[in-house]
Structure 1
């Protein structure tokens, strides 16, 4: 993943990573990426984690939990006398989504290299054979999604009896996705005496069951709960007519800077992306119906600035860490207040400022009022029409729309006629356009961007 590392700038009076016991080899790598001082969750948990204690860390999304456990795991492994063995990872990090697993590994890889440790990811949606090959070669830290790892364990390609440290990241989200039975089965196969670190925004949804069953006398550190206010995040509810929603959304997403737009369903995300692209907005989609290669390609295009708008389902509400997202738009208000908070957490990360906008129609007003109340959010509600001056205050800058050429039938090409240098995505490759999967379709007016979405209905990812 090409997302920039957060520029951590906590007060100079706070302890340094070296003060907390992080080795010089790691502090040098951190400094080279602009991470100079620990965030509160890191300063709180690292001493206990480095001492070998079981740790329960609670903190809202964007609070810096990844570095908190990555630094602990790598430091502990580097000090251990054990060696890597075929099919037996020394540390296991479980994550709920492919994107989160990939990003954990991207954060960890340069740090692990500095200590001559190896890492790899295991998740579904891609071929299993390369994963099996790498597992057999031996790995120090395995970052995995529960389902695919369980498949490898059942087939005998991976064994968890040598795991010294286990990390559960976004444990509450794993519970929400129904992964807890698989997680329990995997943890049962790790040594009882191993160290366990669990990081979660909340302790509901069955996470407390994991804590009681698998953590031994854990040290609890709670920093920035999900209901803690984010000082630099402002919340707005735009009360619009159903027929004006798309025009308002185009105005917001045509502004400079990165925007993440959330819908409730996969079909809604796909349809809305196509409509935005047809209107001239550079946009890509992210949802569970996309193949892993397409998900990675679209996320890369967004993180590297090739496109400015990412239209996503709640698959991106947790674990998608991309800096400089200026605006989050709830095109479809989420069902649950926790989803609202996690979606909104894609902006105002690592001390930066951010704006959150919820589009609300007359029929959605009671639902949105209840949503913001439960989330503990004081949002400014404004009734407006397209062209309102407030839109430029929420998303400042000159609007830019990319004209879309009319679609015309293309002549068929044989394999030998496609040149890789042309950039067209023929059979022999060539770099695809970031919007290749978002062909334009006629715009339509709808009460909700998500097909058949209705108040109180849980959309698919």
Structure 2
């Protein structure tokens, strides 16, 4: 395929190419150039491409074009198109990408996933929508309750099919697909095409056109890979050094507990970070991703939930703080950087006992990383993450006020700085009265804080009213407040306290 191929030459309607041009998208990616002629012609398509290859527009453009060309109109509870996604974040991202295309075409869409109340989703379905972007679990729930029927579906798309398989969603996907009309068009996109995916293909796709623009094991030319061999006591200091550099960074942890711990440690040192893992409520996940998208937090600490399909512009550095177990996870994690032709750096932190595992991992992933033994102060760290290090704006612990609003929203943010030096009477990280365990009236309540040099401090909150600690087991959420004119970040603590690095 010629590199000067345009979307118009592939058959994309002018109204949609104009939307892409407004967003600076003028040249199709390989997976788009390969699949669009067939998908726009109405054929079933099986597309394989690594994460970050542009699969989303590869299926959104033909979907919108088909619905516009058809005379059918939306009806309550009977959508015209279905996009299945494995995670809430990916479903939201797909719907966001769809929105401008749908707007010029006069179409409507609705996301459907769990972790949030179903009533807004039910109301949207009752009004009638053209496209639903859904996770299998909640969609099956609403189908069972009679809120949605799939008998009018004209186009069905399965995105990240291999991740669906990894998460155990394929039985639900098969049940959902069985409820869609056989004569409808079906598009399936995946980073890998293994036995589980072939079961879906054989059962639901009719004479599919298969396009493999690239492989999950195809390393990105503009992505550099490094393994940093560190001693155990240097692991956190090296991680802090890399994340304190300018720019967006995604840090991957092995477990939810580890992700939460790394986030706490980064914030305690003054590096603004948010977390993303399965223990968070959907509202917390959405707010944390919004903080990362907007730049209010420069580091996202995640489990493998974020390794698939989540796109944030200008992620220059991916750090495997915990090496993944298998090579596919490594490649999907690494795909958060070097997207859409941009350059990116991938760093794997390796302890002595992980040398053999990391060697096997990179070999199976088809990459040859540069391995270097480092500690804080090694010149390679500045090369991998250029720029001055900043430790000025970590997260501040914050609990809801009695009215249900977070203290910063109620004007009760404290004025203490990161290291506990501020106009308040106490050190540490007090940021409003009654936070943590305090219940003072205008000051004096005890607050556990995140100082850089100490883990607890006595706060002298300055806001009115009576604050109260978060419930044990509640999700960590992040909002922004200001302190001394610099951006500060606030979090509701899972256990009502925030301790520094251990």
Matches within 5 A, 1:84-233: 84-204=74-194, 206-233=196-223
In the other structure, the counterpart of 2:458 is none
Aligned-partner Cα distance in 2 for 1:431–1:97? 23
Aligned-partner Cα distance in 2 for 1:73–1:312? 31
In the other structure, the counterpart of 1:442 is 500
In the other structure, the counterpart of 1:407 is 429
- Identify the structure with bigger relative contact order (alpha carbons < 8 Å, sequence gap 6+): 1
Per-residue Cα deviation, 1:166-185 (whole angstroms, up to 9, x for no partner): 00000000000000000000
- For the aligned residue pairs, the C-alpha RMSD in angstroms reads 2.0
Unaligned runs of 5+ in 2: 393-417, 421-427, 442-462, 469-477, 482-488
Aligned-partner Cα distance in 1 for 2:122–2:170? 24
Question: Residue 46 of structure 2 aligns to a residue in which SS?
Answer: strand
In the other structure, the counterpart of 2:371 is 381
Runs of 4+ in structure 1 off by over 2 angstroms are 407-414, 422-427, 430-435, 437-440
Per-residue Cα deviation, 1:123-174 (whole angstroms, up to 9, x for no partner): 0011101100111111101000000000000111010011010000000000
Q: Which protein has the larger Cα radius of gyration, Structure 1 or Structure 2?
A: 2
2:251–2:300 Cα contact (<8 Å) kept? yes
Aligned-partner Cα distance in 2 for 1:198–1:424? 55
Per-residue Cα deviation, 1:216-241 (whole angstroms, up to 9, x for no partner): 10000101211112110000000110
Aligned-partner Cα distance in 2 for 1:380–1:65? 30
Aligned-partner Cα distance in 2 for 1:435–1:263? 22
Question: Residue 342 of structure 1 aligns to a residue in which SS?
Answer: helix
Question: Residue 200 of structure 2 aligns to a residue in which SS?
Answer: helix
Q: Does 1:57 align with 2:67?
A: no
TM-score, normalising length: structure 1: 0.89
In the other structure, the counterpart of 1:453 is none
Aligned-partner Cα distance in 2 for 1:150–1:93? 14
Q: 2:293 aligns with which of 303, 309, 322?
A: 303
Q: Does 1:79 align with 2:69?
A: yes
Shift of 1:437: 3.8
TM-score, normalising length: structure 2: 0.82
Per-residue Cα deviation, 1:243-279 (whole angstroms, up to 9, x for no partner): 1100000000000010000001111111110011001
In the other structure, the counterpart of 2:474 is none
Per-residue Cα deviation, 1:39-87 (whole angstroms, up to 9, x for no partner): 1111111110011100000000000000000001000000011111110
In the other structure, the counterpart of 1:237 is 227
Matches within 5 A, 1:339-418: 339-402=329-392, 403-405=418-420, 406-408=428-430, 410-411=433-434, 412=439
